[in-house]
Structure 1
Amino acid sequence: MRTGAGVYIAGFAASKSKTKILVEGGSAGVRFDGTAPVALIVRARDNKADPMSIIRVFRMKSTKKNRSAVISAVGSFSVSSNTMDYLRFSAEKYGESSYRLTFDERPAGEYGIIVSNPNNVDEKMVIVSTFAIDGEAGTKE
């Protein structure tokens, strides 16, 4: 994660700070064909929590060098905001500590997955798993 700040002057001074997730490399090694159904197995500490509350699948902006997503942007005159573009999914328990995710919509793009640990409020490290969907957007049949 990277946090940056800037000052912009337009008749007065205002500051703005962004916190973003930054992943090295311009594209994910794991790629799916968007015209076919996509399912992923995501491991968690256990599968007793509601997966919708601990799993986030989000679109990342890609350049040749890296992929990124803005977690929050805070300005002097604005409230903090989360501008992440989330990909909707359905989830079901898989084994004793995993979930099986399926996606009704599969728009092409680079994506990241974060699984939070609800039992550890003070997490110091964010682990981001990545994948990409290629081809045309589709819907589950």
Structure 2
Amino acid sequence: MQSVLTSKMALNSKWIYLILLPMYFFSEVWCIRCYYCNSANNTACLDVNLYSEEIRSRIVPIVTCETAIPSPGGYNFFCRKIVQTIFHSNRQSDVRVTRGCGWIRHDYPCYREDNGDHLGTVCQCFDDYCNTSDRVEPASMAGLFFLFAAVLYVWH
């Protein structure tokens, strides 16, 4: 009787793991965490990499996009960083950095915008905390690696 009960419990625990394990992966897909700040009211937002992780976690807010922003209608969230040079007619231009969440994807990872009164560069990324700074995309790094390897091959 004991062995039958033990085997039933083992079978039930296997089913629980089979059900819960995929749920873990799905939750990771839908929840992305991004830095959420504007340098107009938080100067640390200009370059969050200047600070250690401990200090950064206290002065630069982090949000889970799905809970921080009302649902925009079934889109998948991603992190975004916007760097704008704002032109003023009566004073010197200033640079503003905004980090946050986005939900409508652009065709390119980064693109420029020009609205007359400001120039901007908008970059989107799809990993947690990826809107910290400009970084080289993995595909670009792979391309540079193969180019470098080809040059070395031809040289020798």
Structure 2 length-normalised TM: 0.22
Larger helix fraction of residues: 2
- Highest Rg: 1 or 2? 2
Larger strand fraction of residues: 1
Q: Which of the pair has the greater relative contact order for Cα pairs under 8 Å at 6+ separation?
A: 1
